[in-house]
Structure formats: structure tokens, C-alpha cells
Structure 1
Amino acid sequence: MVSRCALFAGMNRLFLLLLLPYFVSAQTSYKRLKQQPYVSPSYPTSSGTLLAGRITDFATGDPVPFVQVLLEELRRTSMTNENGRFVFPNVPSGTYHLKAFRVGYQSIEEDIQVNTQDTVYIMIRLPASINQLGEVEIMGESGNTLEKAALAVEGATLRQNLSGTIAETLLGTAGMAMRSMGPAPARPVLRGMGGDRLTVLEDGGRTGDLSASSADHAVVIEPLNAERIEVLRGPVALAYSASALGGVINVVRNFIPTHQPEALHVAASLQGESVNKGLSVGYMVGAPIGKIALHTDGSFRTAQDLQTPSGVLKNTDLRTLNGSIGLSSIQKWGHLGVAYSHYNSRYGIPGGFVGAHPKGVRIALYRNHAELSAEYVPQDATYLTKITLKNNFTYYFHQEFEASGAIGMEFQTLEVHTRIDAQAKSIGPFQRGKAGVSGLYRQYNVGGLVFSPNATELAANGYAYQEATKESFTISAGIRYDVRTAIPEKETQTRIGFIRKRDFGGLSASVSINNQVSRCLSMALTINRSIRMPAVEELFTEGPHLAAYSYDTGNPELITEKGYGAEWSTRYHATGSEAQLTLFHNRIPSYIYLANTGKINNRTLLPVYQYSRGDARLQGFEAMIHQSLFAGVSVTATLSFVSGALVEVSKPLPQMPPMNGNTAIQYHMGNLRITGGIKYAVKQNQLGDFEDATNGYVIPNLSAQYHLTKGKKLHTIDLSLNNLTNTTYRDHLSRVKSIMPEPGFNIKLLYRIYF
């Protein structure tokens, strides 16, 4: 009788044979052996559980330096030294998902079991990257790999896609799109959901910016120094946001160190691109200062106006400065740390199209952010493995200038956000349990040519998350309750309604059931209930929005948005092969959106937009396939589709991405990796009110990556040639598509050195 794995493998390879003339599968060996414990003299076992290890080259046995090692549940990272060694002190008992990745080698993911007062030593033999998805050899305490809800962009993939914004960096990931009003304020969209339905975090905390409220507001995160970008959906996302349907994007920066580095570690980056004469420089430093761990990073980015096949998109230049410093005391009971960061940006918003100021707008913004973090690891607790406390203080200031230099709008926010999380020990089938509470104070002030009142926002939430495993089934469940109060500076009757204090609240929940049908095949079903409470801007706004060239009006009668969704996915994973298909359906009966009323404000002669409610449905699919063809060559393809509609009026939702995808063939030889591929989209003619259709396109791209280890230094070079044919095409989610197409031929070069 044919096994399920063999059946699916045959179907997968038959599909690829229709596309390519031949196929030879490659395999890597897979072993697990227990080793004798290793005890570092720097971290005696009496001070807590020690997780240590050594990573060597699979073929030669030589130590591999500069490997990033991550414990996902604890969000701790360590880097191997020149001897290939890494150390995690004071690790609570439990099961942890360990990841290790470095340029030129295959990434590994394994579950590691840590017991109280034991020292766990792991030997990892890391194979060179030959573009196979096979197993690697890990020797030590480990269990079966658990299917993770998070998608991560890191390592070589992060460097290859690294761009000026988080949104552009994530393009090409299945389900991802990008809304833009010029290159600087681009923001990610996942499954047709953007704004604050898709929460963007930095080190698990709020950014404090206004990017979710308008297309011209930038996300205040610099991608150049990001260590990892995570996408969370389903139950695990409820620890950070009520938006289980949209999800969470978390950019890992590690402002506050969570481990004591053994020596000085430095990474320096230099990136340039031709399409806008852009230049970026950045650095990251980690160092021990006595018993204190130091992390500091900084970056500077500058770019001129964007070049397109049809000409220059004027007023799209930018200049951004970003820096941070963090200190942490690593003790046997955990750590206590502080950090400060500053972000400063000036950029242009182009004009001359519907929804923009005729002459364009200049925006200047800055953010000051301070963070306090404490982690306590109880040594003898019966149920808890750790307790964490985080306090974030964020001041954000934003100005919009007309071409004459006159200030049109000003925004100022002050946020204080506190959260406490507790992680439970694994007991029987129950694993990775955690719970937490958080509170938010937000002061929102606005000035200039608008009539919106200043307001105060108070919010609080509590959540719980638990996983349980029984034989081939893993059940993940999350529940969260949120409350929010919006308090205007004064209560008054206005043209948009009665401005008054409003209270909101609601329950979010998510359950996911994963069945490991066989060693290579798994299926999962996720059910979500999600809420979204109206923001201050949606309730009380009234006045012209300079950069968007619209007259925006809030709706003080808005109610809490509730949504329901389901998704089904199946994944096939074997040596050299991987395929995944996900189907999703979301229904949001009280969907809040900014609608064009078709009216003109008599005083400003601007089109009037109003925050409205509707019954929305979003449904679609995501597909991915990866196949190693023969030694050093592989092919990867993705395809994404989402359809959005306002059900009661039978109209498409505006700003929905068309069906799109990517196909790439990769060749790897030694330290060199070359990737050639295309990105494509079909014509979008499912249009909301006042939208224009966009044609389909096929865009060829080429990239190469090279790395060299010399002494104690690792050098990486990443070269990308985008839009090789200088094709004229338009992205449906771009607000400037009516006057200019997307960027033309672009040469992008990134050099990075680690030592």
C-alpha cells in the first residue's frame, strides 16, 4: 500500500516535471545522539539552567562562527564565537524552539528540552547551504519539530530583500502586499488588511507612530538593522494584538540585551541603489562591560527622487537618521535593562494626482523612545518559568508642510505602555502556556488647519495562550479581552455629530488544530474571532488632510468592529521538497473604512471622506512550493489571492491587491548563490468607488549573494538587479499610479561585515 508521504511526493514531483525537463532529488543525513554535559566555568550550574553548545561544519568538523542562535519562546539570541560556541544562561525548564542560521549554511529548527538545574549541551553539525530543505544533524536533548504559527524573514533572505521600508522588505512573501503614497510611507498589507488591522511592533512593543491612520504617515522602523522580521497569525498573535484576523508583524531589534556576550561583536552595513541614488550606512555593536551587556546600533539613509520608466517621480526624496543604545544587567535570576532610541525622518509626498496635494507635501517627524525591561526566572517555582515586565515611553511629533513652507498640520502623541507576561512550565500535554496583562495611556494632540479635538486614550487588556499535544494532534488556543476609552478634550456638538467620551470593549479568541498526518504531511484548521476598537482619529477627526488632499470627517457613533474567520492549511515537507496551501475566509459585519462620499467641502474645495461602517467579506488563498532539482539548484514559487467585498451593497472593497506571485530558480556553488526569477500580477478590475483598474505585469529580477570568512571576520555581498527590462507597470495599491508607474531598472548593492 502506498504511504501518504510517497503519494504526495509523487504528485509534487510530477507537477514540477511538467515545468522542468529533469529532476534529481538530494538528501542529507539525519541523526540524533546524546552527548555528555558541558559546564562553562563562567556560568556554574548552581546559578540556574545553562543551555550551551557548539556549532561545526557538517563536512569538515571546523567550528562555524557568526551563527545566530535563537530561542523563540524567550526571544533570546546568541552568536557563536570563533570556536563555534554559544551560551544561554538562566534558561527556565521547558521545551524551546531553537533556530540557528548563518549565511552560507542551512538554517535549522529543533525543539530542545531543558530541565531544572541541569546543564544542557548541544552539538550542531551545520551543512552548507545547497538549497535543500533537508534535515541537519543535531546531537543533544531534542524532540520533534512543532509546526510554528510564525513566519520569519531573516538571514540571507532578509539581506536579499532588504529595502528602505519594512513593507518593501516583506514583498514577495505569500499574502503580503504594500500600500504606498511614495516610497517613504509604504506600509505592509496582509490578506487585504492594512492599517491597524495589521499590527506592526518593534521588539514586541508599540511603535507609537501614526502610520496606521493614513497612507502618507511612515512606519518609524529602520529595516537596515533588523535582525529578524516575524509574522504572527492566529492564537499566538493574541498575546500582542486583538487582531487575530489581520495578524502581527514584529521587527526584532534586541534594543535591550538578554544575554551576556563573551566578547565584542560588531556588524557594519553599507547599501546603495541606483533608482533613487540612495545610500544607507548602519552599524550594530554588542559588548560586555563588566557584568553589563551593551547593545547599540545606528543608521543613516538618504535618497533622491525616484526614477521610473516614464520619468522622475518628484518630491519623493528622503533622509532618515536612527540610533539606539541599551544596557542590561544579566543575573542568575534574569535580567534588568534599559534602552533609548531616536528616529528622525524628512521625506516628500508627491502631488498632482487624485488624493494628493497638487504641489506635493513635505513631512518631518521624529520619535523618542525609552524602554525598561525586567525578566525574573524563578528557580523553584512549581508552575512558572519566567515573568517579564516591559515599560515603553514614546514621544512622537509630526509636521506636514505645504510647498510654500507653511505648516498645514501637526500631530503630537505621548504614549506610556506597560505589560506583564508570565510563562508556565510544561505539564503533561500542556506546553508553551503564557498569560499577561497590559495598559496604555495615550495623549493625542493635533494642530494646524484641522478642527479635530485633542484627546486622551486609555486602554487595557488581558490574554492567555496555551498549547497542548496529544499524539499527532497539537491544539493552540488564545483568548484576549480589551477595553478602551476615548476622551475628547471637551464634549461638544459639531457638524459630524456629538463629540463625547466613548467606551469600547470586546473579546477576541482563536483556536488552531494541527494534525501531523505523517512525518511529511500536516493539516491545520484555525477559527478566529477578532475585534477592532475605533481609534481617536476615526471618531473625532474633522478637517483637511494636507498630504492626502482630502477633507476627512470622523464618525463619533462608530461601534467596536467584530470579525470572524476560518482558515485551513496543509503542508508537505520532506528532504528537498516543501509545499503549502492555505485557504481563508473572513467576515467583518461592522467593518470600518474611510469612504469617498462624492461630496466637495465648500470652504476648502476638497473631496469629503468619512469613516463609515459596512459588512465586509475577505477570502482567498496562498500557495507555496519549493523543490530541489539537483545538486545546487532549486525552484521556489508563491501565489496569493484575496477578494474583498461590501456584502450589503455588492461592491468590491477598495484597495484590494490583485492575484500575484513570484517564481525563482536558485543556483548555489560554494560561497556564491545566484537567483533569477519573475514577479507577476494579473489585471485588477474588482474596483471600489473611484478606483482605476491596473493591468497585469511580469517583471524579471536577478540577484547574487557571496560570503567570505577571513580570520575573525565574515564579509557578505548582496547584489540585486530589479526590473531588468525597465518595464512600465503599476501597482494597484499605489496612490501615485495615476501619474507615475513603479520604479524602473534598479541596481542595489549591500555590503556587510561581521567581526
Structure 2
Amino acid sequence: MSLFFQRSFVAAAACGSLSMAWAQSEGSVADPLTTQLQEVTITAQPLNDASVSVPAQQLSGSALAQRQGSTLGETLDNLPGIANSSFGPNVGRPVIRGLDGDRIRILQNSGANMDVSGLSFDHAVPLDPLTTERIEVLRGPATLLYGGSAIGGVVNVIDNRIARERSFDAKGGTLGKVELRAGGAAQERSTGAMVETGNDRWVLHVDAFDRSTRNLSVPKVMDCTVNGVTTTQRRVCNSASDAQGSAIGGTLLFDRGYLGLSASEYRSTYGTVAESDVTIGMLRRHQVMEGQWRDAAGLLQALKFQWGHTSYSHTEYPGSDTGTRFDNAGHELRLEATPYAQRWANGMQLQGVVGVQREGNQLTVQGDEAFVPPSRTVSNAVFTHQVLTTGWGQLSAGARAESVTVRNQDTGVDKGFSPFSVAVGGMRNLRQGEAQNGWQLSSHLSWSQRAPKDYELFANGPHAATGTFEMGNANNAMERATQWDLGGEWKNGPHKASVTGFVSHFANYLSLQSTGSNDDTYDLPIYAFEGVRARLVGMESSATLRMVGGSQALWSSDATRGAMDLALRADFVRADDLTHNRPLPRIAPMRVGADWVWTDQAWSARFGFTHAAAQHLVPQAGDVTTAGYTLWNAGLNYQTRSAGTRWLLFAKLDNLTNQLAYSSTSVLTQTMGSNAPPLAGRSVKLGLQASF
């Protein structure tokens, strides 16, 4: 769709009725600002059973509105166990339990995203949180449904462009959302809109967004060199951005299933903060067909297919010239069959899904910084996930077998791999009574394998994002990991707490390692992908305690002035390269945080802090360490209804003390030295959502 259509649609929606919204839940008007860690529906989990034990986090509703950043990584940053691998304010992928890049599988509506954001730190994820209804984070055996790149977890971004359930009756109707945002450290101006209309037989979905930002404001004076002229400013040089996107989807709904199509386009132009004269232009077009047949011929509970095709291009522009260009075209086909649940007289029930998946993509890189050759990757897989429900809890298991071929198109060399992964899990429910108070214990154990990516095999050239000359190794073997976690969740009325410990041991972890030599042509240090033994150990926890309001409040039972909760969170991970006896790079330090959350009918407010400890564990002497810091933040929401329209007004205040802080998970902290961009300075962002 053209840029004219996108902006015309957004303007018309904003000036029309201002009554657009996600299909948010119709719960209490005072929606807590904290993240929901339990009782979530996992769209990426095809069993469609809320009782299935899945280690998950979810952001939606006002919690998503408050946390929403310009990138997926920024939006999820500081959730327990999750950090942001930021490359400035315009690029950021989630880091989960110390694992990043192509070890994290990013899905769009449970389908492959098909970008190349894992190839380089300066490649953005072409998914904008502004058009997102819900974000889910998935771990455990169910991740094996989605590929070897899910070895660290799955992030599923939901936008409902294909309707899977009926939203309207036979008379028909319309729902939608418009959202306006302004402010922040990057002086953001953004508008997003969505409209759905239809009846019980068909649904039409249209959405669009427009986002622009200026250079990011930070708490220090920085040098900025443009066209040979150096100036100083309290902003990150070349960090502005402009992004637009639009999508249309249509679904036919049947008595026993649905069939839907969607097409979307994402465009973005942003500065790469590592080079003050380089901008990046990105374009992604994505088409999806999806359908499900329930009660399939009396043999299956459901039979589902999903097909997707992506055309992606990423061009780097040094000044007005055209530099290196990355083109990626890919497809995905998934078939999932859900047999009828097997029930026994003793109350036990077995429910599962089996399926096949085929993915293929062709990557072409042209230009002076073409550090990877043209390549083609094809993978075929079979998978299953089974859950046994008992009177005392659940047992779950998953398995995935793949055949992966990676071809160097320049040399014609094929590398073949056969990853096999298996995982088991268990949940023991100790909760009692109608309120289900008490403990719920869970544990998961997995043996995972991941085929090397094309750049880990064939890279051979200068990589500006890392400031190195990267070299792959065609003899690299598959990554192999054994992962185990043990956790518990406790609930007593409004009080909740959870804690999980984990350990991941890699018999072969593909790591970019210094060779100790320089490339003479580009005068860059040579780094090579090497398999090493590695271990990651950590913990993540959260708690919500009702302090005021209600009979079980710890301080006061008086609820006439609303409710006051204390939300706590903490996490840490220790990651070591056991082969070279040194830490792995770009690991988040120990973090703790607390928020006071107040809700009273239409109002809700939050005030709290996140403290990150110093990170002195770096791979080599001379690598940059990061000091500890504390960021104070606040938020305010007001929700009301008028003439059938639901309004949400919110304000977000970040880094109230203008604290100077640096990210240990950003490669820029190492490559740019004293001119590395710090985290954003003090800012205020205002927003409005209107829905019907």
C-alpha cells in the first residue's frame, strides 16, 4: 500500500470518530499497570487450553500502552529475564536469559517473521508495537513447535489481521482503535489506527501507523560529525527515524473453522548511530494465508494450515550514495493437526498437536560491506507437543526433528544439518479451595540443537555494526544445549509471587571470538565464529503485594480510596565461556525493581525504579565495563466511557533524575567507546487511545 494511503487512512480515522481500539478485554476500568505473568492465553500455543502449563509472559491493554517503545526490544526490556540488545533507539531485539540474536524466535501471529534482524545488530525488526494487540513470551516444551531458533524462547507479536474467532453476531458491527502519541526523549510523533468490521460470516481488518522521531535526548554532551563538521549536543547523533506501515486482512468464518488472507507493508528510514553519515532504508512486504478446520471429518479436533511469504530489503546509504544492500525473500508453510483429547476414567486427559513445517529463504548482499555471500537456506521439520493433565497437575513433552541445508551461492557449497530437540516439563498444583490459593510448582528440561546460520558458516568481510572483520567457519557444528529450570508461583487472594531458577549448558555454543590479528585491507580486528562450551545460570522473580484496599491488604483494608499494590521484580544471569575461561559478552547485570501501583475506578498510577548493578564481567581485559545505575519512572492512566466510546489517556515519565546510564547488552558500548550512546534521558510522553 502506498504512503499516501497510509497517511490518508490515519488522518481520516483520527478526524472521524476517534473510536478505534484493540479488542481489549472489558474488565474493570482501573487496569493495573503491571505485567500479567499468569492466567494468559498463548496464541502461539495451538492446544487452546488455558490450563496448559506454559512458562509465559504477556503484555496487552494499558500495560502494553505504558511500556510501548519504538522497538520490540525496548518494549519488553526489564520484564523479568528479558533485556534489550539496543543499537541506539531505532533497533532492538529482546535478549532472554542471556541469549540473543537467532537464538530467539520472533513470530508474527504465530508465523515466521522472515527478517534478517539476527544477521546484524543494526538491522531493525520490522514489527511496530503501535499496531500490536498483544505480545507473548513463550518458553518450555512448546517452543519446539517453532524451530531451532527458539532455543532461547519465542516472542509472538499478535495483531489479529486474520480473525480466528467471531467478534460480531449476524447483525454485524464495527470496532477499532486510534492511538496518538507525542513526546519522549526522541520527541516522538506517532499515530496508529485499526478498524474491523463484519458479521458472523466474514471480517475485514485494516490498520496503519505513522511514527517519526528526532535525535534521542541523553544526559551528556556528545560529539556529532556531519560532512566533516563536528558539533556538540545533548542528543545522539544520527538517531532520528521515520516509519510507516499498513495492512489489510479478510477472513471467512464457517461453522467449523475459518479461512483468512492478509497483506502488510512496513517502511522505515533510520540513522545508524555508529556512523553519523549513514542512514538505513528498510522495506518489508508480507502476505499470509491461514485456515483451520475444526472437527475435521470426525477424525481430528482441528486441522490448521498457515502459509506466509516475505520480501525484505535493507539498504544502507552513506550520505547520498547507495551502499550495501541486503535482500531476503522467504516463505513458510505449516500444517498442524490436533487429535481429539484422550480422556480416562481416573480424570486424566492427554491432548496434543503434531505438525510439519517447511521454511526457505534466499539472502543476497551487495556492496562494500557485503560480509556474507549470497545464500539459500531450506529447512523441513516435524514436531509434536503433548500435555497429560492429571488430578495433581500436568506433564508435558515436545519433540522436533529437522533437516536444514545452507548453501553458499557463490561457491555452490552445501552444508547439511539434522537438528533434533526434545523437552519435558511438569507442573504440580498445590493450590486449594475455590480461590485456588497456594503454590504451583513447575520444572522443564530440554535437550536442544540449532543449525548454524549462513553468517556463522560463510561470513568473510568487514562488519561496521560490530567494528570487526567477521569470518565464519564452514566446519562449524550445530549448537547443542541442555537447559533446565525450576520455579514456583504462589497466590493468596490479591497477593502473588513467582520465582524461577535456570541453568543452560552448551556443549557447543557458536560465539564470535577474537583471533588476535587484524585485517590489513580494512584495518579491523578479525573475529571468527567458533564453537565453545558455555554455561548460563540465573534467576528471575516477581511479586505483587496488596498493601491497601480489601480485607487481605497488608497495611489497611480501607478500599474507599482505591487499592495500592507493591510490585517487585528481580533477575540476574551469569554467562561463562568455559572453553576460554572468561565471561560471554553483552550480558545484562543483576537488576531489581519496585513499583507502587495505585488504582481507583477510572484512575491508575505507577511510581517506581529499576536498579541495574555494575557489569564488570567482560570477555577480555580492556573491554568496556558499565557502572550501576537507578532509573526512576512514573505513569498515569485515566479511562472513561462516553457515548459507547472507551477513552484511555496516559502519561509516561522516564528517567526522572536524568541519570547517565549505559547498556551492557549493546554492542555499541564496546565498539564506540566514550562516544557510545547512553540510555535515554529524562522524558515525558503523552498518549490517547479511543475505542468502541
TM-based fold match above 0.5: yes
Say if 1:103 and 1:219 are closer, same or farther in 2 by CA, change over 3 A: farther
Does the C-alpha gap of structure 1 residues 132 and 667 become closer, same or farther in structure 2, counting only changes over 3 Å? farther
Of residues 365, 374, 388 in structure 1, which corresponds to 2:304?
Answer: 388
Give, in whole Å, the separation in 2 of the partners of 1:134 and 1:473: 16
How far residue 524 of structure 1 moved from its aligned partner, in angstroms, is 1.2
Go from structure 1 to structure 2 and tell me whether the alpha carbon gap of 1:470 and 1:378 turns closer, same or farther (over 3 Å shift): closer
Deviation (angstroms), 1:317: 0.5
CA distance in 2, matches of 1:279, 1:185: 18
Residue pairs, 1:75-86, within 5 angstroms: none
2:172 equivalent to 1:235: no
Give a deviation string over 1:564-619, Cα, whole Å, max 9, x none.
01110011112011111111010111101222333221111122222111101001
Change in CA separation of 1:525 and 1:685 when aligned onto 2, cut-off 3 Å: same
Q: Is the 8 A contact 2:30 2:603 kept in 1?
A: no
Q: Which residue of 2 aligns with 1:320?
A: 243
Q: Distance in 2 between matches of 1:583 and 1:247?
A: 15
1:26 aligns to what? none
Q: How does 1:147-158 map to 2 (within 5 A)?
A: 147-158=53-64
Deviations 1:222-265 (A, max 9, x none): 10111110111011111112356411000011121223442111
CA RMSD of aligned residues (A): 2.4
Paired position in structure 2 for 1:284: 194
Aligned to 1:423: 338
Code of the residue aligned with 1:741 in structure 2: it is P
State the distance in 2 between where 1:181 and 1:406 align.
23
Q: Is the 8 A contact 1:244 1:529 kept in 2?
A: no
1:342 aligns with 2:265: yes
One-letter code aligned to 1:275: A
- Give the % identical residues: 26
Looking at structure 2, the residues matched to 744 and 667 of structure 1 have their Cα atoms a distance apart, in angstroms, of 25
TM-score (norm 1): 0.79
| Aligned: 1:544 with 2:447 | no
CA distance in 2 between counterparts of 1:674 and 1:371 reads 39
Note if contact 2:21-2:691 (Cα within 8 Å) is conserved in structure 1: no
The Cα of 1:456 is off from its aligned counterpart by 1.5
Distance in structure 2 (CA, Å) of the matches to 1:489 and 1:742: 40
SS at match of 2:342: coil
Q: 1:742 to 1:190 in 2, by over 3 A?
A: same
CA pair 245-447 structure 1, distance change in 2 beyond 3 A: closer
Q: CA–CA distance in 2 between the matches of 1:134 and 1:214?
A: 34
Deviations 1:681-724 (A, max 9, x none): 11111111353111111111111011011121000011111011
For the residue of structure 1 that corresponds to 2:295, the secondary structure is: coil
Structure 2: runs of 5+ lacking an equivalent: 1-18, 40-47, 221-233, 433-437, 550-562
Tell me, yes or no, if the aligned pair for 2:31 and 2:62 is still in contact at 8 Å.
Answer: no
The question of 1:500 aligning with 2:413 is answered: yes
Counterpart amino acid of residue 518 in structure 1:
R
What are the residue-to-residue correspondences of 1:191-230 with 2, within 5 Å?
191-230=97-136
Shift of 1:431: 4.1
CA contact (8 A) 1:228 1:253 kept: yes
Alignment-mate amino acid for residue 434 of structure 1:
V
How far apart are 1:209 and its partner, in Å?
0.9
Instruction: Check if 1:400 corresponds to 2:320.
Output: no
User: Which whole-Å CA distance do the structure 1 matches of 2:307 and 2:149 have between them?
Assistant: 22
Q: Do 1:564 and 1:587's aligned partners in 2 also have CA atoms closer than 8 Å?
A: yes
Deviation of 1:680 after TM superposition, in Å, equals 0.6
| 2:285 alignment partner AA | N
Residues in 2 aligned to 1:482 and 1:181: alpha-carbon distance in whole angstroms: 32
| Gap change, CA 1:475 and 1:67, over 3 Å in 2 | farther
Whole-angstrom distance in 2 between the partners of 1:723 and 1:432: 47
Counterparts of residues 373-522 of structure 1 (less than 5 Å): 373-378=290-295, 381-382=298-299, 384-402=300-318, 404-428=319-343, 429-449=348-368, 450=370, 452-491=372-411, 500-519=413-432, 520-522=438-440
What amino acid is the match of 2:265? H
Q: Contact 2:20/2:175 (CA < 8 Å) preserved in 1?
A: no
- The change in CA–CA distance for 1:147 and 1:459 in structure 2 (over 3 A counts) is closer
Say if 1:149 and 1:236, in contact at 8 Å, map to a contact too: no
**Structure 1 residue 149: Cα displacement:** 2.7
Instruction: Tell me how far 1:547 sits from its aligned partner.
Output: 4.1
**Aligned equivalents of 1:470 and 1:605: distance in 2?**
63
Aligned to 2:453: 535
Counterpart mapping for 1:584-733 below 5 A: 584-631=502-549, 632-689=563-620, 691-733=623-665
Structure 2 residue 79 is the aligned partner of structure 1 residue 173:
yes
CA apart distance, 1:451: 6.1
Q: Evaluate the alpha carbon distance shift between residue 244 and residue 199 of structure 1 in structure 2; reply closer, same or farther with a 3 A threshold.
A: closer
Whole-angstrom CA distance in 2 between matches of 1:716 and 1:694: 38
Cα offset, 1:290, TM superposition: 8.9
Check conservation: 1:267, 1:752, Cα contact below 8 A. Answer: yes
In the superposition, the TM-score normalised over structure 2's length comes to 0.86
The answer to whether structure 1 residue 308 and structure 2 residue 218 are counterparts is: yes
Q: Deviations over 1:489-546 (max 9, x none)?
A: 243xxxxxxx721001121111111111233211112101111111112211211224
* Closer/same/farther in 2, CA of residues 293 and 245 from structure 1, 3 Å limit: same
| Conserved 8 A contact 2:219-2:660 | yes
Q: Which residue of 1 aligns with 2:686?
A: 749
For 2:236, the aligned partner's letter is: L
Kindly state the Cα deviation for residue 458 of structure 1 after the two structures are TM-superposed.
1.0
Q: Deviations over 1:306-332 (max 9, x none)?
A: 010102110000111111100111112
- Provide the rounded CA distance (Å) in 1 between the counterparts of 2:641 and 2:134: 22
Which amino acid is 2:511 matched to? Answer: Y
Match of 2:483 among 565, 575, 586: 565
Which ranges in structure 1 are unaligned for 5 or more consecutive residues?
Answer: 1-64, 69-77, 80-99, 108-128, 136-141, 352-356, 492-498
| Offset at residue 148 of structure 1 (A) | 3.7
The 2-side partners of 1:239 and 1:104 are apart by 36
Alignment check: 8 A CA contact 2:20 2:194 kept:
no
Distance change (3 Å), C-alpha of 1:379 and 1:391: closer
SS of equivalent to 2:143: helix
Task: Look up the match of 1:104.
Answer: 29
**Contact 1:660 1:682 (C-alpha < 8 Å) held by counterparts:** yes
Letter in 1 for 2:75: T
Give the length in aligned residue pairs.
Answer: 620
2:204 partner amino acid: L
